[in-house]
Amino acid sequence: MKIVFASTPGQVEKVVELANYFYSSILPLYFTDEDIKEFEKHKVLYTTKEQIENFNTLGDAFRVITSLQTIISILESQDLSHKYSPVFEKNAQTLREFGIYFPFQFNEFIAALRTGNDFISIYSKAANHYLV
């Protein structure tokens, strides 16, 4: 007999939170707003109810969360180099195995970094908030 623990609603929320963070804090570092609109259109990192059912056990949900966190950590690092490529690709593949559309290759981020995207994005979180 094998006992399997189901994923919790908190874990599902964490996956959605990490996907939102990826859109607001990671993608604007590497891509233009037009590119990001296309990613939204193609539902990159979008999780449907059916996809959430693909990681319905506690271990599966942790694998998805860990993969997202690892990719985010790599892309936020100050020293983005090819040494991270195998880890990035392994975690990207994990997301794909669970039905999450993640079409990126590590080289795309390296290439985008070389072009130097120094612009303000509508997807970035505001640095401050005003109360009116």
Q: What crossing angle do the helices spanning 58-76 and 85-97 adopt, rounded to 10°?
A: 140
Is 57 domain-assigned?
Answer: yes
Question: Has residue 58 been placed in a domain?
Answer: yes
Task: List per-block mean pLDDT (blocks of 10 residues) for the chain, which spans 132 residues.
Answer: 59 89 94 93 86 71 94 92 95 93 94 68 55 48
Task: Give residue 86's domain range.
Answer: 9-115
What are 26's two structure tokens?
A: 């990671």
What per-residue confidence (pLDDT) applies to 120? 57
The pTM is what? 0.81
Give a yes or no: residue 43 inside a domain. Answer: yes
Quote the CA–CA distance of 98 and 61 in Å, as a whole number. 9
∠ CA 63-93-50, rounded to 5°? 65
| pLDDT at res. 129 | 52
Number of separate domains in the chain: 1
Q: Report the pLDDT value the prediction gives residue 59, as an integer from 0 to 100.
A: 80
Does the residue 2 lie in any domain?
Answer: no
In 3-state terms, what secondary structure has residue 6? Answer: strand
